[in-house]
Amino acid sequence: MIAAPSFAAIQAARERIAGSIRRTPVLSSDFLDQEVGAKLFFKCENLQVSGAFKARGAFSAVLNLPAALAARGVVTHSSGNHGAALALAARSRGIAAYVVAPRTTPASKQQNMRRYGAQLQLCEPTLAARQAAADEIIAATGATLIHPFDNADVMAGQGTVALELLEQVPDLDAILCPIGGGGLISGAAVAAHGVNAGIRILGAEPAGADDAWRSRSAGVITPVAQPASLADGLLATIAASTFEVIRTQVQAVGTVSEAQLVAAMRRVWEELKIIIEASSAVPVAALLNGSLPVAGLRVGVVLTGGNVDLQRLPWKQD
């Protein structure tokens, strides 16, 4: 079974990826601070290479492959930010990146992965078809599967964002991340607790894909039958590896409605002047709807990505 990375593994990942990723800026807004009643530090991973924090995990994994294995390429079945990030990381090593994506993947996302060099293979939008397509590629090429979150090197890479943030803002009381498969929040929890055992780790999910919230309540992984949300990066179900960290090292998980996440997305665009995607707005929405215990705290908020179709905004034009 895959286990979450150690603090040392996250430190090693940070050294490995240092030359490949950006030290992203931290922004703030007095207006948002006043509204939430906390001091917020937004870690702008939407400004990361590939437009999302996923570059951290992808480079961490790709750069850790032995040369002989790497030469056969890497494969994944994320059609979103992990797919693009993996393609970018693979290109930096001059190796192939095969991405299995459902044929329903929006054209803009397909194009984005292709321009980073991904070799796309479209399949029927079912778990079985996806798995079969990935297996076929692995059998034919010997490529290594780099899972978007259930992979210790990927989690370690994602965790580096917390190390960096705690250097930029050392005296944080809490770090808040969205939860999809849980790779980010588990890496960040291990990393942050390695620096400061007392720091609180908070999560946020859309109400329509609240498997982490349900799993914490039930004490066992509890998938949502039909996860649905505009936050398309947060639809995955947590894995055993990430749940173990979410269960033991995360203090609270807030949930938000679709209307709340759209309003939060727009507020961030307006106040911070940056493009964040719907998934990144979920933690902000959880701060604004009061579902997280942050009053008076200094909170680092990871804004995870900025890959948005600018012709399909989730609010009306006048």
Q: Which residues pair with 120 in a beta bridge?
A: 99
Give the containing element (helix H, strand E) for 99. strand 97-102
User: Can residue 275 be called a binding residue for a copy of itself (CB under 8 A)?
Assistant: yes
* Choices 166-174, 179-187, 224-232, 302-310; region in contact with a copy of itself by CB under 8 A: 302-310
Q: Least distance (Å) from a copy of itself to the CB of residue 27? A: 6
DSSP type of residue 50: G
Q: Which residues pair with 144 in a beta bridge?
A: 74
Q: Least distance (Å) from a copy of itself to the CB of residue 82? A: 17
DSSP type of residue 185: H
How far is Cα 64 from Cα 184, in angstroms, rounded to an integer?
Answer: 18
User: Can residue 272 be called a binding residue for a copy of itself (CB under 8 A)?
Assistant: yes
User: Can residue 317 be called a binding residue for a copy of itself (CB under 8 A)?
Assistant: yes
Query: How many residues interact with a copy of itself (rule CB under 8 A)?
Result: 26
User: Can residue 107 be called a binding residue for a copy of itself (CB under 8 A)?
Assistant: no
User: Can residue 311 be called a binding residue for a copy of itself (CB under 8 A)?
Assistant: yes
Whether the CB-CB separation of 59 and 311 falls below 8 Å is answered with: no
Whether the CB-CB separation of 17 and 56 falls below 8 Å is answered with: yes
Q: Interface mask (CB under 8 A) for a copy of itself, residues 225-264, using x and -?
A: ----------------------------------------
Q: Interface mask (CB under 8 A) for a copy of itself, residues 41-70, using x and -?
A: -----xx---x-------------------
Residue type, 216: R
As a dihedral over the C-alpha atoms of residue 18, residue 237, residue 255, residue 82, rounded to 10 degrees, the angle is: 30
User: Can residue 269 be called a binding residue for a copy of itself (CB under 8 A)?
Assistant: yes
In angstroms and rounded to an integer, the radius of gyration of the C-alpha atoms of the chain is 18
Q: Which residue ranges make up the site for a copy of itself (CB under 8 A)?
A: 25, 27, 31, 46-47, 51, 115, 266, 269-270, 272-276, 306-307, 309-313, 315-318
